[in-house]
Amino acid sequence: MGMNITEKILAQASGQASCAPGEIVEVRVDVVMLHDIGTPGIQNPLKELGVDKLPPSVEVVIIPDHFAPAPTVKAAENLKLTREFAKKHHIKSYYELGRGGICHQIMPEKGHVKPGQVIVAPDSHTTTYGAFGAYATGLGVTDTAIALGIGKLWFKVPPTVKVILRGKTGPAISAKDISLFLLKELNSEDVLNRALEFEGEIIERMSVDGRMCLCDMAAEMGAENCIIPPDRTTLDYLKERVKTPFSTLSSDADAVYEKKVEFDLSALEPQVACPPTPSNVKRAREMEKVKIDQAFLGSCTNGRMEDLRIAAQILKNEKVHSDVRLIITPASQEIYLQAMKEGLLEIFVNAGGSITSPTCGICFGGHSGLLAPGEVCISSSNRNFIGRMGSPKAEIYLASPATVVASAIEGKISDPRDRMRKGGLR
Amino acid sequence: MKIRGKVWKYGDEIDTDIIYPGKYLVSFDPSEAGLHAMEGIESDFCKKISKGDVLVVGKNFGSGSAREQAAVALKSAGIGAVIAETFPRTFYRNAINVGLPVVEIKGIKGKVDEKDEIEVDLDKGVIKNLTQGKEDTFPPQPPFLMEILKMGGAIPYYKKKTRR
């Protein structure tokens, strides 16, 4: 009987010829990523485990991004601890403020993600690295400390749901709209704790930026991991960034799936997730009466070049509505610089947008753009939970970068296709 | 291993931002975490409950962030166990890793009322509703997860395992 790509990675990493859903396997962990919440969090468990030296088999990458730059003294203490931990353990891959950015962008950007690897981190959006054919999943700090200290961790092999995306989407439709559409359409009980494997023409044509967005949003679908078997697009991206050899895996033709679902997305319209869950999704067109106070473009979901480019196309020669604050957070220093070179930052500033340094702060309600009671925000990030971006009495709508900036101009939720047609975009 | 306490009921999709808001992620102090448990929908939760009380909740309890503080906050506030229709894997693992018993029972919400007194026997996989005089069963955890729970969490378990 054949295996799918997730099963193959878990079998390979546990030294077995094969494995099947439901089986508990002890897996060798290739990479552990830590940020400035995870690093302080693993200190006690590591100490109690008696781990003084980290096993050399595990690649460790440390990326301070959540409370960076530090908004409080307590956060500064955590960042200091994170820095000192990296020094103590001679971690070469430590990305200081100003040299890194948001962890889930930095990991692949700096070549720390390879197909076929097992990658864990104390962060739910670790699923993002499945865009490169890795088994990547988020864990709590105790599991992370065990993976880091022992180099191995148990997993229950998840059943896999294959999602086949067919058709050709319109020019205003991004991977975010597809993710939100899937959040609405997929039965949450069918995908909870499952591996999601994507294929189809939509995926074949999708950029690396888009694939990362989709795999990032799989965390909201409740998936254990999300995976796109590597293809030419993956390899083209990786060859610029990964310096060491790797091999790619793919699913067997007779691999077993718990379920297969198929969607034709040719008629897909811009989507918006309404409060208070990412699965409460409607068409942007239906929500156009909702006035907004803040618009946020950024996060590990949508702070990449593709996102900034479409935003700049829509914002060019336009102004953000007088009642709206637009906050833009490039996901990394590399993206920040590229956006500068392409003149995108100038467009954002001229439009009245506020650009922050790469950070997770706004998305998770940590700092740099919290909401007051009664305020409404449209955001390109991943969660609209109660209190996610500040006051529990604020409301968050999730949408694509195009919808976020079109809404920022209009002062209310807006289908970006109107502006894109008017501006002669595409 | 038995837990006995009063039931507190909540609905579906109680996410980790509700259980432990993001602004407190700078802290890893369990007693401080307990003070903020369920703050997204309930103020002073830790003062309202008694030690050993049981949360009975709907689908996907603990969805969203991987933050372990969510499980720590509930345990530290005094919650003895969480019974849900379904859990996402990350919260489930985190709870066991910090020694907070978690049980999945489909349809549980319809079988208990708020303030009912219940007893959960984790070894036998039996839940007794002492108020209503009813009983329900569930498949017990695999032995190694039971051992982790009995030892109070994953760290003491692995400490013992690696020392052998």
Q: What is the DSSP letter of A259?
A: E
Same domain? A12 vs A158 = yes
**B21 with A75: Cβ contact below 8 A:** no
Q: Which CATH architecture has domain B2-163?
A: Alpha-Beta Barrel (3.20)
Model-level ipTM above the cut of 0.90: yes
Whether residue A108 has pLDDT greater than 60: yes
| A229 and A292, same domain (yes or no) | no
A80: Cβ–Cβ under 8 A, 6 or more apart, which residues? none
A325 shares its domain with A253: no
- The model's pLDDT over A253-281, given as tens digits with 9 standing for 90+, comes to 999 999 999 999 999 999 999 999 999 99
Judging contacts by C-beta atoms under 8 Å, the chain A residues touching residue B71 are 140
A257-261: which pairs have CB atoms within 8 A and are 24 or more residues apart?
A: A257/A4, A257/A159, A257/A160, A257/A161, A257/A162, A257/A197, A258/A21, A258/A159, A258/A160, A258/A161, A258/A194, A259/A161, A259/A162, A259/A190, A260/A161, A260/A162, A260/A164, A261/A161, A261/A162, A261/A163, A261/A164, A261/A186, A261/A190
The answer to whether residue B161 scores a pLDDT higher than 90 is no
Rounded mean pLDDT, A134-153:
97
Which of these, A77, A96, A94, A75, lies nearest to A86 by C-alpha position? Answer: A94
pLDDT at A423: 66
Inter-chain residue contact A72 with B26, CB threshold 8 Å: yes
Give residue-wise pLDDT tens across range A215-259. 999 999 999 999 999 999 999 999 999 999 999 999 999 999 999
Domain ranges across chain B: 2-163
Any idea of the CA torsion for A182, A227, A140, A81, to the nearest 10 degrees?
Answer: -110
The tally of domains found in chain A comes to: 2
Residue A203 in domain: yes
Tell me, yes or no, whether A303 lies in a domain.
yes
Any B CB within 8 A of A266 CB: no
Chain A residues whose CB is inside 8 A of the B93 CB are 139-140, 143
Query: How high is the pLDDT of residue A425?
Result: 62
CB-nearest to B89 from A41, A145, A224 is A224
Average pLDDT value for residue range A23-51: 96
Taking only residues 390 to 419 of chain A, the set having a beta carbon closer than 8 angstroms to any beta carbon of chain B reads 392
CA-nearest of A60, A34, A240, A57 to A132 is: A240
State yes or no: pLDDT of A424 exceeds 70.
no
How many whole angstroms separate alpha carbon A152 and alpha carbon A14? 9
Q: The domain containing residue A282 runs over which residues?
A: 271-420
Q: CA–CA separation, A7 vs A116, rounded Å?
A: 11
Portion 276-295 of A in contact with B at CB < 8 A: 277
Which among A44, A66, A143 is the nearest to B25, CB-wise?
A: A66
Q: 3-class secondary structure for B104-116? A: ECCCHHHCCCCCC
Distance from the Cα of A341 to chain B's closest Cα (Å) equals: 34
Q: What integer best gives the mean pLDDT of chain A?
A: 97
Q: Is A425 part of a structural domain of the chain?
A: no
Are A240 and A306 part of one and the same domain? no
Q: How confident is the model at residue A203 (pLDDT cuts 50, 70, 90)?
A: very high
Last residue of a domain, one of A239, A263, A287: A263
In this structure, are A59 and A124 located in the same domain?
yes
User: d(Cα A102, Cα B11) in Å, to the nearest integer?
Assistant: 33
Q: Mean pLDDT across the stretch B137-148? A: 94
- Average pLDDT, stretch B4-11? 97
| pLDDT higher than threshold 70 for residue B153 | yes
- A300 by Cβ neighbours in 10 Å (0-12 / 13-18 / 19+) ranks as buried
Question: On the CB side of A49, how many CA atoms lie within 13 Å of its CA?
Answer: 27
Looking at the structure, do residues A295 and A208 belong to the same domain, yes or no? no
A343: in domain = yes
Strands (E) across A127-250 are located at 135-138, 152-156, 160-166, 195-199, 225-227
Chain A nearest-CA distance from B36, in A, is 13
A185 in the same domain as A308: no
CATH of the domain at A57: 3.30.499.10
Q: Which residues of B touch A75 (CB under 8 A)?
A: 26
d(CA A263, CA A117): 29
Q: Nearest CA of chain A to the CA of B131: how many Å?
A: 31
Of B17, B63, B159, the CB nearest to A386: B17
Rounded CA-CA distance A327/A347 in Å is 13
Identify the three-state secondary structure at position A303. Answer: coil
SS3 content of chain B, % helix, strand, coil (to 5): 35, 20, 45
pLDDT of residue A54: 95
- Are A242 and A279 in a shared domain? no
A294 in the same domain as A246: no
Same domain, A302 and A382: yes
**Domain-located, residue A114:** yes
Dist CA B83 CA B127 (whole Å): 10
Indicate whether A426 belongs to any domain: no
- Provide, as residue numbers in chain A, all residues whose Cβ is less than 8 Å from the Cβ of B21: 365, 387
CB contacts, 8 Å: A126 with chain B: 66
Q: Let me know whether A289 and A254 are in one domain.
A: no
Q: What percent of chain A has pLDDT over 90?
A: 97
Q: Express each pLDDT in A331-360 by its tens digit.
A: 999 999 999 999 999 999 999 999 999 999
CA count, 13 A, side-chain hemisphere, A323: 10
Is the residue at A70 inside a domain?
A: yes
A121 and A227 belong to one structural domain = yes
Q: In A114-161, which ranges are continuous DSSP H helix?
A: 141-150
Which of 315-354 (A) contact B at CB < 8 A?
none
- Interface contact B93-A140, CB threshold 8 A: yes
Of A66, A74, A192, the CB nearest to B60: A192
Look up residue A140 and give its two tokens: 């709590």
Q: Which of A238, A263, A288 is the last residue of a domain?
A: A263
B144/A85 Cα distance (integer angstroms): 31
